[in-house]
Amino acid sequence: MQKRNRFLYILFYFLFIAASLFSRDKIKLAVLDFEGKNISQSSAEAVTDLLRTELFNTGHFKVVERQRIQKIIEEQKFQMMGFTDASQAAEIGRILNVQKIMIGTVTLLGNTHLINTRMVDVQTGLVVLAESVECQGGEDQLPHAITELAIAVSYKVGLEGKIIRIDKEAVYIDVGESDGVKMDQKFDVIRSGEVITDLEGHAIGASEENVGMICVMKVQDRFSIAEIEESSVSLQTGDLVKPRMQTNEKPVKKKEKKEDTTEPDVPMIF
């Protein structure tokens, strides 16, 4: 049974990679060496190298080689290891000319490895994804856990598309089953705004505004059909769509004030 499950997992993994080769433009990504906790830094760097390889293998990322990262960091007089600050990571990402940069830690607790990652958007300096994986059974199980982590990251960050058609309340987007889209999956709709330029007039990005949210109700191989759940403006073809980050937080319901219908006490006069 375990052999069969392993075979199905490997088959799914290679099918996922093959489908990714035909998807949108790849995201430029740099992965800084993770910080080791209760393990040697060399072991943490080995885990980071494995993750770089698996992220590249998903087909959704252009991954910067470690040698190039190390050269830039040495030139800028940064330390190579132990990056945990998002703003400093974003600064390195801008020098490397990448879109996203990943930082993280590898922690050993007993016989369990915990790999925690955060992905930072270089343009905004904000953390756009926090993903982790737990590996029990020693170092032999680490490659399998790292592969799972890379696939999870790719689903949430590597998947983005555009609105290609709007028919009343139905919204067609150019990502489908071959890209990993699922039924009932929610996407944020993002509209690009004013182009941002540097002091020399070169375009370095554009402002973005979240203008709505859609929910997938039908999935085809290369496209999906969704319904509009929220919108602050009329959605348009060409608007960008990205998977909505899942959160365990529940919205706080405001308590409604009830009108006091009881009659005030009237003092008794004797």
Query: Residue 207: which CATH number?
Result: 2.40.10.410
- DSSP symbol at 154: I
Could you give the CA distance from residue 212 to residue 210 in angstroms, rounded to a whole number? 6
Structural domain contains residue 7: yes
Cα(first)–Cα(last) distance of the chain, in Å?
89
Closest to 54 measured CA to CA, from 5, 99, 115, 112: 115
| Element spanning 69, H or E | helix 66-75
Structural domain contains residue 33: yes
Residues 81 and 132 in one domain: yes
Residues 147 and 207 in one domain: no
Helix axes 86-96, 66-75, angle to 10 degrees: 100
Could you give the CA distance from residue 146 to residue 144 in angstroms, rounded to a whole number? 5
| Element spanning 166, H or E | strand 161-167
Structural domain contains residue 270: no
- Residue 200: Cβ within 10 Å count: 6
Structural domain contains residue 109: yes
Residues 59 and 37 in one domain: yes
Domain that holds residue 102: 2-158
Structural domain contains residue 262: no
Give the count of domains, the chain.
2
Residues 99 and 24 in one domain: yes
Single pTM value for the model: 0.59
Residues 173 and 131 in one domain: no
Q: Are strands 100-109 and 35-37 parallel, antiparallel or unpaired?
A: parallel
Residues 117 and 11 in one domain: yes
Helix axes 2-20, 142-153, angle to 10 degrees: 40
Ordered per-residue pLDDT tens for the chain, 270 residues: 555 655 555 555 444 444 444 445 688 999 999 999 999 999 999 999 999 999 998 888 999 999 999 888 888 777 655 566 788 888 899 999 999 999 999 999 998 999 999 999 898 888 888 999 999 978 888 999 999 999 889 877 777 889 999 998 899 999 898 777 889 999 999 997 776 776 776 555 567 789 999 999 999 999 999 999 999 999 999 999 988 865 433 333 333 444 444 554 544 444
Residues 145 and 42 in one domain: yes
Residues 141 and 173 in one domain: no
CB 175 within 8 A of CB 226: no
